[in-house]
Structure 1
């Protein structure tokens, strides 16, 4: 399993939207500037997230994106599976190829999946907020 920039940037985008969810619809330019991610790259991620109705979209001068649900309803494992495809560490298991150590690899995949599924977008938001909790500018 390898988490690409697509998966990382999707999580950054969704975390940003969750942090700023009280501000209404957020345009990609704002997210891009805050997160240091190319707007063009975010434009490639949006259709993937829209397809699964993760985002709500509004067009026009006040348009942009916002989360369709509360941050605690988004499981990190589901988001990564959506953006990355399979999260299998042993791809031959997905192909049904037999292995002499099948139980070992299946257990490893199960452990990784369980780890990713125990976190929600709200957990990432909380972590992000705690990083800046004591960041005062006077």
Structure 2
């Protein structure tokens, strides 16, 4: 999976916002200090998050950002995708294109393995909400997802 600092930092910042922004707007400077992320980097990320409708900006004294939806309604996959991070594990260029990663354009012998892994990662991140993250319930979500996958396979 290609998940760079962009995706990880966006999730960290959104989790911080979910935890600290229940009663008020939270400034990016506060998030930057708590999460040790560059303020200018956060500004870039939050521009994308706002454009995707995941956060709302609040102007004026006490301004900052708030979640656009409740923490239990915002899933990690949305955040990662909002900052232009593809959730895939193959090295092939672009999803949905027939062009593979080999010199002649063919798909490598393990392409389906990595493509399936990317789909599993996406399914997991789509099943985990910000509320799950801040309440440390991610392992419960993983177990629930694995149980449902076992049922489908049976």
**TM-score of the superposed pair, with normalisation by structure 2:** 0.74
8 Å Cα contact 1:4-1:84 kept in structure 2: no
**Aligned residue in 1 for 2:142:** none
Structure 2: where are the runs of 5+ without partners? 100-105, 138-154
**TM-score of the superposed pair, with normalisation by structure 1:** 0.81
Asked if 1:49 is matched to 2:58, the reply is no
Structure of higher RCO (CA pairs closer than 8 Å, 6+ residues apart): 1
Q: CA deviation at 1:105?
A: 3.5
Separation in 2, partners of 1:12, 1:103: 30
Structure 1: where are the runs of 5+ without partners? 129-138
Q: CA deviation at 1:22?
A: 2.5
8 Å Cα contact 2:90-2:114 kept in structure 1: yes
**Aligned residue in 1 for 2:62:** 62
**Aligned residue in 2 for 1:115:** 124
Secondary structure at the counterpart of residue 115 of structure 2: helix
More helix, by proportion: 1
Give the 4+ runs in structure 1 shifted more than 6 A: none
Asked if 1:96 is matched to 2:108, the reply is no
Q: CA deviation at 1:48?
A: 0.4
Separation in 2, partners of 1:29, 1:20: 13
How many positions carry a matched residue from both structures?
Answer: 128
Secondary structure at the counterpart of residue 83 of structure 2: helix
